[in-house]
Amino acid sequence: MVTGKRYRAAVIGGSGYGGGEMIRRLLIHPHVELVRVASIDHVGEPLSAAHPSLEGATGLAFQDLPPAEAAGGVDVVLLALPHKVSARKMSEIMPTPAKVVDMSGDFRLRDAAAYERYYGAEHPHPELLEQFVYGLPELNRERIRTARLVASPGCFATTIELALLPLAKAGLLEGVVHVQGITGSSGSGVAPSAGTHHPVRAGNLRAYRPLEHQHLPEIVQTLAQAGARDLEVRFVPVSAPLSRGIFATSFVELPDAWSEERLRRLYEDAYDGEPFVRVPRRRLPEVAAVSGSNHAEVGVALGPAAKGRRTAVLISATDNLVKGGAGQAIQNMNLMLGLPETASLEDPGPWPP
């Protein structure tokens, strides 16, 4: 329940793209005040040094602070740190009373062995894994409301999970599922690399980490929680010449008794009342329709019957920095603090993008 209280928030790791989107949303939040931003980059400089769109929007500067000090005296800490860094810092934050939303992949998996395989490092605090609630509101809303620690989902994971969640809940998701996901360059972070360098990325499509992406175990774990059985996701990610956006296409075999209209109704019913997931009727999902917003789009198509089965195509789109990242973290924060879930996230995004 919203009271007259204005909550205090800190961001740790605020110089990256995800941190910038998080800061922007916090600065316009009606119930939360951003009081500090910690970072090892741009120390002492205004936030606009890393995020030019924030020029004149705040007097805050980047501070190089120990995690416990950064978390001191605030109601909520939002971590925008890289994978493997959040895991090391959490032990310093835990003694503080602050609630925590972590955007890294360090606390999404329950299985420490899976974390070591997909993230390439032994987890430094496996005892904390069970304490984090997975922050997909469309599945775990009530658990998030009462949580102190929330692990916000990954961008690919969010997009693919939303496409398959209604089937999992209906008991229709089992066996092998094939997925292709296309992503923009901002998902790789602010530091340039061979994969994000403009001359290589522009005008190019390139697959990477086929069948081995780090979001795979997260997707399987989440859909199994929702009701999927014996699930195996075969996922091929593709880098695209976009700054923002994820576009995923998932292929699932259904009994031939299913019609496209019945499948669409399943999805419309599943997401009825969800503030940030829509099932467009007059078109299929597209990145431009969600870019810059916390909205996700999910659409369906169904192939002809063959050998007693029909291939269902589930198409989903998100902005990787908003619903796939910082926006979803704010959504989780709102739930944890008892605030309106949509606070600072209501904007539909620009058109054209």
Q: Where are the domains of the chain?
A: 7-153+323-336, 156-320
**Residues that are catalytic:** 155
| In the predicted structure, residue 145 carries a pLDDT above the cut 90 | yes
- Residue 197's pLDDT band (cuts 50, 70, 90): confident
pLDDT at 53 over 80: yes
d(CA 50, CA 20): 8
pLDDT band at 343 (very low <50, low <70, confident <90, very high): very high
Mean pLDDT of 148-164: 98
2 pLDDT more than 60: no
pLDDT of residue 1 exceeding 60, the answer is: no
Under the banding of pLDDT at 50, 70 and 90, the label for residue 304 is very high
Q: CATH fold of 7-153+323-336, please?
A: Rossmann fold (3.40.50)
Q: Is the predicted pLDDT of residue 147 greater than 80, yes or no?
A: yes
pLDDT given at position 219: 98
- Is this model's pTM higher than 0.85 or not? yes
pLDDT at residue 102 in the model: 98
Mind spelling out the 3-state secondary structure of the chain?
A: CCCCCCEEEEEECCCCHHHHHHHHHHHCCCCEEEEEEECCCCCCCEHHHCCHHHCCCCCCEEECCCHHHHCCCCCEEEECCCCCCHHHHHHHHCCCCCEEEECCCCCCCCCHHHHHHHHCCCCCCHHHHHHCEECCHHHHHHHHHCCCEEECCCHHHHHHHHHHHHHHHCCCCEEEEEEEEEECHHHHCCCCCCCCCHHHHCCCCEECCCCCCCCHHHHHHHHHHHCCEEEEEEEEEEECCCCCCEEEEEEEEEECCCCHHHHHHHHHHHCCCCCCEECCCCCCCCHHHHCCCCCEEEEEEECCCECCEEEEEEEEEECCCHHHHHHHHHHHHHHHCCCCCCCCCCCCCCCCC
pLDDT at residue 190 in the model: 80
pLDDT band at 332 (very low <50, low <70, confident <90, very high): very high
Q: Token pair of 274, please? A: 């969800």
Q: What is the pLDDT of residue 3?
A: 57
Summarize the confidence of residues 46-71 as an average pLDDT: 97
Task: Answer yes or no: is pLDDT of 156 > 70.
Answer: yes
pLDDT at 46 exceeding the cut of 90? yes
pLDDT for 194 beyond 90: no
pLDDT tier, 165 (very low <50, low <70, confident <90, very high otherwise): very high
pLDDT at position 196 is: 78
For 99-130, write each residue's pLDDT tens digit.
999 999 999 999 999 999 999 999 999 999 99
For the stretch 256-277, pLDDT in tens is 999 999 999 999 999 999 999 9
Average pLDDT of span 207-218: 96
pLDDT of 66 reads 96
Whether the pLDDT of residue 352 is over 90: the answer is no
156-320, what's its fold? Dihydrodipicolinate Reductase; domain 2 (3.30.360)
Confidence of residue 8 (pLDDT cuts 50, 70, 90): very high
Question: What's the mean pLDDT when you consider all of the chain?
Answer: 96
Task: Please check the confidence at residue 198 and state whether its pLDDT lies above 90.
Answer: no
